[in-house]
DNA sequence: ATTTATTTCGACTAATTTCGTCGAATAGTC
DNA sequence: GACTATTCGACGAAATTAGTCGAAATAAAT
């Protein structure tokens, strides 16, 4: 017999696909069921509601996002290299998510409070990652920062600011050059001279 | 005051955009209204129903398609050139429509009989265009065809067959080579030797 | 084999969404 | 001011959809 979790995984994967195309509101349970080759009631055997499926999808996206950041981190890199890699990988991963987020951006999702929770949790984790890079840089004398905690928050916040144009379809070239600028500014504002 | 037809045009244009993204079923009148910066009732002032808007969109697509074929026709070309141009322009225009058709392909549109009517009308017109090319070719001795009417139907039918892979996402390279083959076959089966 | 637990599904209902209507309000014209 | 053209909010009817329930089917356990 197939493991229950595997079935759930499969449903989430199918649902992610449909949510990416039609957003939350326009995606129906019947569509998810049919695409999963199941009856609608069978879907409810695994998930209590449409929101619960959506939550699983969002959590999976967030987890993949985090893993990509971790995977890209080479422990042997200098802190400066780590910082640059982090920024670049972050944007590349975000681009992959852009479809998904632009599909759901018109749905009113304010009533789904788990989204805010997930966002905060992963925010926190990314800030931790960033801070440990900064701390390492300070320790080996490469960076010069008074309050690494505040600096980490500031940098992550700045990076998040750069997501926004992704979802509103700003020209990519413009985006790349902005990214270069940001990296440049980060480095020359942060490197010991 | 703005002309009534201009407002209708604007609504059709907005609607085309939304239909392309969500298909017929998932597109709501409210969305069309909001995107047109109007109340929903105002839309009904110009169109009697959602179907009527959709019909206008389909007719516009068909008309643009036809105009592109006409525009691409250079009267000074040889019939052989005209035939080749027709085939190429047809596929290029079809590619532009592929989004629209793949968006609505999952909706059950069998109950909208005007679609069939429009299709038939433009079918007829394209066959006429094709036949006049063939006739011209026969008259100046370039082509050798017994029944140009039947031949025109056969060729247009073959071309329509090549639309299908467009909507199901076959590899483009494969498509291009198929197109080359078709043109090649058409010519060497049709040119007087 | 029989019982028990797991999984699927069709049919149904309640809640929501959406179409389309109507009458009133607003703006533009004579 | 009267008259027409246009917009809109509120509403009911119809359709769609989320979620339930019990029964059927399938697999596991005894």
CATH number where A179 lies: 1.10.357.10
Question: B58 or A192, which is more confident?
Answer: B58
Rounded average pLDDT over B25-40: 96
Residues of B in contact with A34 (CB under 8 A): none
A54: tokens are 């959506």
**Residue A131, number of CB atoms within 10 A of its CB:** 20
- Search chain B and give the residue with CA nearest A26: B26
Question: B164 or A148, which is more confident?
Answer: A148
Neighbour-count burial for B113-148, b at 16+ CB within 10 Å, e otherwise: eebeebeeebeeebbebbbebbbbbbeeebbebeeb
CA distance B70 to chain A (A): 34
Residues of B in contact with A19 (CB under 8 A): none
Q: What percent of chain B has pLDDT over 70?
A: 91
Q: Assess whether B46 (CB) lies less than 7 A from strand D.
A: yes
Question: Interface pTM (ipTM) of the complex?
Answer: 0.79
Chain A CB within 8 Å of residue B34 CB: no
Res A2: pLDDT: 63
3-class secondary structure per residue, B100-142: HHHHHCCCCCCCCHHHHHHHHHHHHHHHHHHHHHHHHHHHCCC
Res B30: pLDDT: 96
Give strand C nucleotides closer than 7 A to any protein Cβ.
6-11, 17-23, 28-29
C-alpha to C-alpha distance for A11 and A137, rounded to whole angstroms: 43
Res A181: pLDDT: 75
Q: Assess whether B41 (CB) lies less than 7 A from strand D.
A: yes
Residues of B in contact with A22 (CB under 8 A): 22, 26
Q: Is residue B60 part of a domain?
A: yes
Residue B123 has pLDDT above 70, yes or no: yes
Chain B CB within 8 Å of residue A22 CB: yes
Residue A45: which nucleotide is closest by CA–C1'? C7
C-alpha to C-alpha distance for B81 and B186, rounded to whole angstroms: 12
- Search chain A and give the residue with CA nearest B28: A26
- Search chain A and give the residue with CA nearest B23: A22
CA distance B26 to chain A (A): 7
Residue B28: which nucleotide is closest by CA–C1'? C18
Question: B92 or B36, which is more confident?
Answer: B36
Report the distance from CA of residue B9 to the C1' of nucleotide D5 in Å, as an integer.
18
Rounded average pLDDT over B34-42: 95
Report the distance from CA of residue A44 to the C1' of nucleotide C2 in Å, as an integer.
30
Rounded average pLDDT over B161-188: 73
Rounded average pLDDT over B96-100: 87
* Matching residue, tokens 């050798």: B144
Name every residue whose Cβ is closer than 8 Å to that of residue A185 and which is 6 or more positions away in sequence.
none
Q: Is residue B106 part of a domain?
A: yes
Instruction: Give the model's confidence band at B35: pLDDT under 50 very low, under 70 low, under 90 confident, else very high.
Output: very high
C-alpha to C-alpha distance for A40 and A31, rounded to whole angstroms: 9
C-alpha to C-alpha distance for A154 and A150, rounded to whole angstroms: 6
Summary count for chain B: helices (H), strands (E) = 9, 0
Number of domains chain B is built from: 1
Q: Assess whether A2 (CB) lies less than 7 A from strand D.
A: no
Report the distance from CA of residue A91 to the C1' of nucleotide D19 in Å, as an integer.
39
CA distance B160 to chain A (A): 28
Chain A CB within 8 Å of residue B22 CB: yes
Residue B126 has pLDDT above 90, yes or no: yes
C-alpha to C-alpha distance for A70 and A188, rounded to whole angstroms: 25
Q: Is residue A58 part of a domain?
A: yes
Computed over its alpha carbons, how large is the radius of gyration of chain A? 20
Question: B98 or B126, which is more confident?
Answer: B126
Q: What is the mean pLDDT of each run of 10 residues along chain A (193 residues)?
A: 86 96 96 96 97 96 95 94 90 87 83 87 94 93 89 87 71 70 75 61
Judge residue B36's burial from the number of C-beta atoms within 10 Å of its C-beta, 0-12 exposed, 13-18 middle, 19 or more buried: buried
Res B173: pLDDT: 65
CA distance A66 to chain B (A): 30
Q: Is residue A106 part of a domain?
A: yes
Distance (Å) of CA A78 to CA A134, B30, B66: 11, 55, 61
Name every residue whose Cβ is closer than 8 Å to that of residue A161 and which is 6 or more positions away in sequence.
none
Q: Is residue A32 part of a domain?
A: no
**pLDDT averaged over chain B?**
88
Computed over its alpha carbons, how large is the radius of gyration of chain B? 20
Distance (Å) of CA A70 to CA A75, A127, A130, A137, A173: 10, 13, 11, 18, 27
Least confident segment among A78-82, B49-53, B110-114:
B110-114
Distance (Å) of CA A62 to CA A68, A90, A168, B74: 10, 12, 20, 56
Res A16: pLDDT: 96
Q: What percent of chain B has pLDDT over 90?
A: 53
Res B192: pLDDT: 60
Please, how many CA atoms are within 13 Å of residue B174, restricted to the half-sphere of its CB?
A: 7
What three-state secondary structure class fits A142? coil
Instruction: Give the model's confidence band at B168: pLDDT under 50 very low, under 70 low, under 90 confident, else very high.
Output: low
Report the distance from CA of residue A1 to the C1' of nucleotide D30 in Å, as an integer.
19
Question: A27 or B1, which is more confident?
Answer: A27
Q: Is residue B3 part of a domain?
A: no
Q: Is residue A61 part of a domain?
A: yes
Q: Is residue A101 part of a domain?
A: yes
Partnered with residue A127 across adjacent β-strands are none
Residues of A in contact with B26 (CB under 8 A): 22, 26
Give strand D nucleotides closer than 7 A to any protein Cβ.
5-10, 16-22, 27-28
Q: Assess whether A49 (CB) lies less than 7 A from strand D.
A: yes
Rounded average pLDDT over B5-22: 95
Q: Which H or E run includes A81?
A: helix A79-104
| Domain around B173 | 53-190
Res A192: pLDDT: 60
Instruction: Give the model's confidence band at B52: pLDDT under 50 very low, under 70 low, under 90 confident, else very high.
Output: very high
């Amino acid at each position: 017999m197939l493991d229950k979790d595997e079935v759930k995984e499969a449903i989430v994967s199918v649902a992610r696909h449909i949510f990416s195309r039609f957003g939350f509101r326009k995606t129906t349970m019947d569509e998810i069921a049919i695409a999963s080759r199941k009856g609608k009631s069978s879907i409810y055997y695994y998930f209590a509601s449409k929101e619960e499926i959506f939550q699983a999808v969002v959590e999976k996206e967030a987890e993949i996002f985090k893993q990509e950041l971790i995977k890209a981190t080479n422990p042997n890199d200098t802190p400066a290299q780590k910082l640059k890699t982090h920024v670049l990988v972050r944007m590349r991963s975000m681009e992959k998510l852009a479809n998904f987020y632009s599909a759901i951006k018109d749905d009113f999702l304010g009533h789904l409070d788990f989204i805010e929770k997930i966002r905060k949790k992963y925010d926190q984790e990314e800030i931790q990652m960033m801070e440990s890079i900064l701390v390492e840089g300070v320790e080996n004398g490469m960076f010069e920062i008074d309050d690494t905690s505040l600096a980490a928050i500031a940098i992550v916040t700045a990076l998040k600011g750069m997501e926004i144009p992704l979802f509103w379809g700003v020209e990519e070239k413009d985006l790349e050059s902005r990214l270069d600028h940001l990296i440049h500014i980060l480095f020359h504002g942060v490197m010991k001279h």
